[in-house]
Amino acid sequence: MARKKKVRSIVQEFDDYFGTGTLEDWQRLCHDVGLEGYYGSITQCRKALRTVHVNIRDLLEAVKQGEKPRRFASAAQLVAYTVNTRKFYPLSKVKEMGPVKVLLRNML
């Protein structure tokens, strides 16, 4: 039961952070993960975010503290970190075209 509550909590926390999915929400996400430059469309934001390797839970914590999250040089480094810290985002809660989908990396 505690695990389900934790899953709901992280999903709700990201949903609250991200907002409704406007261009401004996507631009804020780009900024918060440390991407510089201007992204004039959601498509541009998506493409840019695919190059960023951050742990979603760490991202949320960093935003709360007014900091940038740790960025990893590769997906493999992010995967190793995520497995070691067990800071996973529940796959069953990923929306097909949402921001979490863009940030997720294959853990296998």
Q: Is residue 108 domain-resident?
A: no
Structure confidence at residue 21 (pLDDT)? 93
Residue-wise pLDDT for 6-60, tens only, equals: 667 888 999 999 999 999 999 999 999 999 999 999 999 999 999 999 999 999 9
* Higher-confidence position of 98 and 82: 82
What are the C-alpha distances in Å from 62 to residues 29, 35, 43?
A: 12, 15, 25
For residue 37 the two structure tokens come to 């430059």
What are the C-alpha distances in Å from 5 to residues 12, 19, 84, 104?
A: 10, 21, 22, 21
Per cent of the chain over pLDDT 90 is: 71
CB 77, CB 58: distance < 8 Å: no
Number of domains in the chain: 1
Q: Is residue 75 domain-resident?
A: yes
Structure confidence at residue 108 (pLDDT)? 60
Which pTM does this prediction carry?
A: 0.87
What is the gyration radius of the CA atoms in the chain, in angstroms?
A: 13
Q: Domain of 61?
A: 2-103
